[in-house]
């Protein structure tokens, strides 16, 4: 019995221990599951951050090595091809030399001198062999030509400058709006000096791979020094030379490295030799200060838009190889192209030539140039159908502007009036030539602004006079907005009698006061232009009739209408006009005495 009891107790103890062990294993299993999940999460994060990024870098490295290998193979093939070509040329030269030595004994000595220690150079990658431009091919320079001729003397008279202690500039920065001819001027400097011309756009320096931009800068200047004397031209310098720190990102590091290499090549530790850098940009205000400081870009030359005489010269230069009629009136075309740049003037000649070919004629006339001017400025002529009422409303709108402008010769002179639709533009157009001797955008007087407001609000007044307040249209909405903006500008600039311009325009009371003063100015100008249009009602009606019939009016045609129907207020002559009239009278008197 005792043995049985002991056996039962031992079995119970064993069962109890097994139960305790199973609970322990369950708890351990739960802890292991958590640990496994944490381990998997850590492994997942490690795999994504380390392994995948490493594989990506390795793939980028392999792609880069493939590209470099392909470039190396291409360079080796080019060298082999150059060697074969040079070998063939050498054989031909030896044959020619053998034949020439019999005829000329000095030829052998000359050929040996040419072969003595000569280094075979690879073909320059950035050399522009077609840059054969002279100053005679560039027109409309004005006073800029003096500065450009001085740059040419840096090459032709370099020793004289060095003996007298004058430091030759390492860089010249050409600034100006697009199309004024900055690239052409750089080519003209190189062509006039007779030196090699290396050109590249600054956007070619920036690539996706690190170090490519700096490498290209070094290659460019190495080629320029090997082929010195030379000019290095960098177009659109602001693509790589803008101020550092403006843009954040990985691409900015590559841009900074390229800019630093350019700074070193401009001056620093690398000898420049007879290499001058000419750069062009439309945005000199965003260039890095270290780039434009003296010692790198010593000269900054601003290329403005051509003047009246400059436009005539540019038109004549581009018309050299075109079949122009003998009676082409270049001054008339130059008057209509005020504000245009050289590229636009060159395109006008090309458009006129196409018009000539389209009509089957053999010469370009003044009318072709005038039509080409309108095409360049406002697009091709449209064929939109309109009712007679709409044509008359358009003519009234543009005639009102022209008649009002005719009363303010100090402001502008009307050069052309049109109501023809061009390139989807439904409204007409009045081209007026501003008198820059009296009207300067940076120094506007109170009279200038009041005259401008009066001209801009003229279509609204004409619409009310002829059609009545109940029949007003929105055709004059844009010039009316211009008049409102000019009135507020007049008040805010302190040209108004009540406000002196020294005030806070954001205060509510001041805003209301400014609006009230601007409204007074608009009302006064509106009354003034209504009086002008009523006094010149005959001129306005004649201009409307001519526009409806012809769709266009030239300066001469409008001037004839003004002389016949106009009732303009007399304007006192200024000193320049008095001098010109006296000079004209003197010339007429001299011609009369000569006859």
Q: What is the pLDDT of residues 483-521, one digit of tens each?
A: 898 888 888 877 776 665 555 555 566 777 888 888 888
The pLDDT of residue 123: 58
CATH number of the 308-377 domain = 1.10.8.60
Task: Decide: 381 and 420 in contact? Cβ < 8 Å.
Answer: yes
Query: Is domain 135-302 classified as CATH 3.60.20.10?
Result: no
Coil, strand or helix at 82: helix
d(CA 297, CA 536): 57
| pLDDT for residue 81 is more than 80 | no
Average pLDDT (144-166) is 83
CATH number of the 388-575 domain = 1.20.58.760
| pLDDT for residue 124 is more than 80 | no
The pLDDT of residue 357: 92
% of the chain residues with pLDDT over 90: 8
d(CA 20, CA 28): 12
Q: What region, left, alpha or beta, does residue 526 occupy, with left being phi > 0 and alpha being psi -120 to 50 degrees?
A: alpha
Sole residue written with tokens 């082999």: 80
Handedness of CA 376, 381, 386, 388 (dihedral sign): positive
All structural domains of the chain with their residue ranges: 13-114, 135-302, 308-377, 388-575
Q: Give, as one character, the DSSP assignment of residue 493.
A: T
Q: Is 312 exposed, middle or buried (0-12, 13-18, 19+ CB in 10 A)?
A: buried
Q: Give, as one character, the DSSP assignment of residue 422.
A: B
| pLDDT for residue 122 is more than 60 | no
Strand 429-434, strand 412-418: pairing: antiparallel
Q: Tell me what the pLDDT averaged over the chain comes to.
A: 77
Of the candidates 433, 373, 427, which has an alpha carbon nearest to the alpha carbon of residue 395?
A: 427
Coil, strand or helix at 503: coil
Of 226, 398, 513, 588, catalytic:
398
The pLDDT of residue 193: 85
The pLDDT of residue 101: 47
Q: What is the pLDDT of residues 202-231, one digit of tens each?
A: 877 776 556 677 888 888 888 888 888 888
The pLDDT of residue 109: 43
| pLDDT for residue 315 is more than 50 | yes
Q: What is the pLDDT of residues 281-292, one digit of tens each?
A: 998 888 888 888
Q: What is the pLDDT of residues 368-394, one digit of tens each?
A: 998 898 888 877 877 777 888 888 888
**Higher pLDDT, residue 98 or 276:** 276
| pTM reported for the whole predicted model | 0.66
Helices marked H in 157-244 — which ranges?
A: 158-163, 182-193, 212-226, 238-241
The pLDDT of residue 347: 93
Q: What is the pLDDT of residues 441-493, one digit of tens each?
A: 556 778 888 888 999 999 999 988 888 887 888 888 888 898 898 888 888 87
| Residue 190 CB contacts under 8 Å (≥ 6 apart), including other chains | 131, 133, 196, 197, 230, 231, 233
The pLDDT of residue 351: 92
Average pLDDT (65-87) is 72
- Predicted confidence band at 191 (pLDDT cuts at 50, 70, 90)? confident
d(CA 333, CA 348): 10
Instruction: Judge whether 398 counts as a catalytic residue.
Output: yes
| pLDDT for residue 199 is more than 70 | yes
Task: Decide: 107 and 161 in contact? Cβ < 8 Å.
Answer: no
The pLDDT of residue 524: 92
Average pLDDT (23-37) is 60
């Amino acid at each position: 019995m005792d043995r049985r009891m002991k056996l039962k107790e031992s079995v119970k103890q064993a069962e109890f221990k097994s139960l305790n062990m199973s609970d322990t294993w369950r708890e351990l299993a739960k802890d292991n599951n958590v640990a496994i999940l944490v381990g998997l999460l850590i492994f997942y994060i490690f795999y994504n951050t380390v392994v995948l990024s490493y594989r990506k870098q390795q793939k980028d490295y392999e792609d880069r090595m493939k590209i470099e290998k392909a470039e190396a193979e291409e360079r080796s093939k080019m060298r082999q091809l150059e060697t074969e070509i040079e070998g063939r040329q050498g054989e031909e030269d030896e044959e020619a030399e053998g034949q020439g030595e019999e005829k000329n004994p000095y030829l052998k000595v000359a050929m040996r001198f040419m072969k003595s220690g000569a280094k075979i150079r690879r073909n320059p990658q950035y050399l522009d062999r077609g840059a054969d431009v002279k100053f005679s091919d560039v027109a409309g320079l004005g006073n800029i030509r003096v500065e450009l001729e001085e740059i040419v003397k840096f090459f032709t008279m370099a020793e004289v400058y060095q003996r007298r202690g004058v430091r030759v500039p390492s860089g010249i920065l050409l600034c100006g709006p697009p199309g004024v001819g900055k690239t052409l001027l750089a080519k003209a400097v190189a062509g006039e000096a007779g030196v090699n011309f290396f050109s590249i756009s600054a956007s070619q320096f920036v690539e996706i791979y690190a170090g490519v931009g700096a490498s290209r800068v070094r290659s460019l200047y190495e080629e320029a020094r090997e082929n010195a004397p030379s000019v290095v031209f960098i177009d659109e310098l602001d693509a790589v030379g803008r101020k550092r720190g403006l843009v954040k990102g990985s691409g900015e590091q590559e841009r900074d490295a390229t800019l630093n290499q350019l700074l070193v090549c401009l001056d620093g530790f690398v000898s420049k030799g007879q290499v001058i850098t000419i750069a062009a940009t439309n945005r000199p205000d965003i260039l890095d200060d270290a780039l434009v400081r003296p010692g790198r870009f010593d000269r900054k030359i601003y290329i403005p838009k051509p003047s009246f005489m400059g436009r005539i010269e540019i038109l004549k230069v581009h018309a050299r190889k075109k079949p122009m009629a003998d009676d082409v009136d270049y001054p008339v075309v130059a008057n209509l192209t005020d504000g245009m740049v050289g590229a636009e003037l060159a395109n006008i000649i090309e458009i006129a030539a196409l018009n000539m070919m389209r009509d089957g004629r053999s010469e370009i006339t003044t009318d072709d140039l005038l039509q080409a001017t309108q095409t360049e400025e406002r697009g091709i002529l449209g064929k939109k159908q309109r009712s007679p009422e709409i044509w008359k409303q358009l003519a009234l709108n543009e005639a009102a502007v022209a008649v009002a402008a005719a009363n303010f010769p100090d402001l502008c002179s009307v050069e052309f009036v049109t109501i023809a639709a061009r390139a989807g533009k439904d409204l007409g157009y009045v081209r007026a030539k501003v008198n820059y001797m009296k009207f300067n955008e940076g120094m506007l007087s109170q009279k200038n602004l009041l005259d401008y407001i009066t001209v801009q609000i003229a279509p609204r007044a004409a619409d009310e006079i002829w059609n009545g307040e109940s029949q007003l249209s929105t055709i004059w909405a844009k010039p009316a907005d211009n008049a409102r903006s000019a009135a507020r500008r007049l008040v805010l600039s302190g040209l108004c009698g009540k406000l002196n311009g020294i005030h806070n325009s954001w205060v509510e009371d001041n805003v209301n006061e400014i609006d009230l003063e601007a409204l007074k100015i608009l009302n006064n100008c509106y009354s003034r232009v209504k009086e002008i249009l009523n006094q010149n009602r005959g001129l306005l009606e004649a201009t409307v009739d001519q526009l409806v019939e012809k769709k266009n009016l030239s300066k001469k045609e409008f001037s004839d209408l003004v002389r016949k129907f106009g009732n303009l207020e007399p304007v006192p002559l200024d000193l320049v006009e008095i001098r010109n009239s006296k000079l004209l009278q003197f010339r007429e008197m001299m011609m009369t005495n000569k006859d």
